[in-house]
Chain A
Amino acid sequence: GENVEQHPSTLSVQEGDSAVIKCTYSDSASNYFPWYKQELGKGPQLIIDIRSNVGEKKDQRIAVTLNKTAKHFSLHITETQPEDSAVYFCAASYQKVTFGIGTKLQVIP
């Protein structure tokens, strides 16, 4: 089955700096790669996604890149703000949606 590895597990950045989270997947059949943000006490919420026929997607301060050949994808957050502090999950999907272990991002004011 699919295996998604995510790193780092924790990340601390100064407000205004950029944050990068990287994931790799194992199943070449996976065709959809979403990123979710989970705030304390809440369920995960989609922040951006990318499909296998696209290499990069950007939405304001958030961007995701996908390298199908290497089977890895990354989340980039620019100009980080304290409200970006949360746990971020990457995922790979074909029939099942398999999540990475999560990255706890702390933005220091």
Chain B
Amino acid sequence: DSGVTQTPKHLITATGQRVTLRCSPRSGDLSVYWYQQSLDQGLQFLIQYYNGEERAKGNILERFSAQQFPDLHSELNLSSLELGDSALYFCASSVGDRITNPGELFFGEGSRLTVL
């Protein structure tokens, strides 16, 4: 158990809909990361938050948004869903900011999104 909790584990929805994925980081970790893993694809970095502030952005679509709340949990919002958004979405956390304190990412077990 990594200590990172993601909900829901599975989600099936229709095209055009909006969903919210939730992540609770490990106790004490200030950074939260979101990754997308499609079939036969690697881990595509979406976005990182550090202590409530956006710190780095990857290939995140404009239809997607995220935030980190004061209690450090994070939510990833996916809207106007398309078939191609079907993927496994991972949240990870780490202790500090990457530049001053690079270190291990602790991954949750992922939220599997299926768009029909």
Contacts and interface: CB of A to CB of B under 8 A. Distances in A.
Interface residues of A, number: 24
Given A31-B102, A94-B99, A95-B55, A44 B43 contact: yes
The binding surface of chain B is classed by DSSP as loop
Contacts of B42: 6, 89, 99-102
A31 B98 CA distance: 10
Nearest to B97: A95
A46 interface: yes
Interface in B5-40: 33, 35
A24 to B, nearest CB: 14
Contact of A46 (B45, B58, B98, B104): B104
Contacts of A34: 104-105
A19 B110 CA distance: 28
Query: Which of A41, A45, A93, A96: most chain B Cβ within 10 A?
Result: A96
Contacts of B107: 36, 43-45
A42 B45 contact: no
Interface in B75-116: 90, 92, 98-99, 102-105, 107-110
Contacts of A32: 98, 102-103
B82 to A, nearest CB: 23
Interface of B: 2, 4, 33, 35, 41-43, 45, 48, 55-56, 58, 90, 92, 98-99, 102-105, 107-110
Interface of A: 6, 31-32, 34, 36, 41-46, 49, 51, 89, 93-102
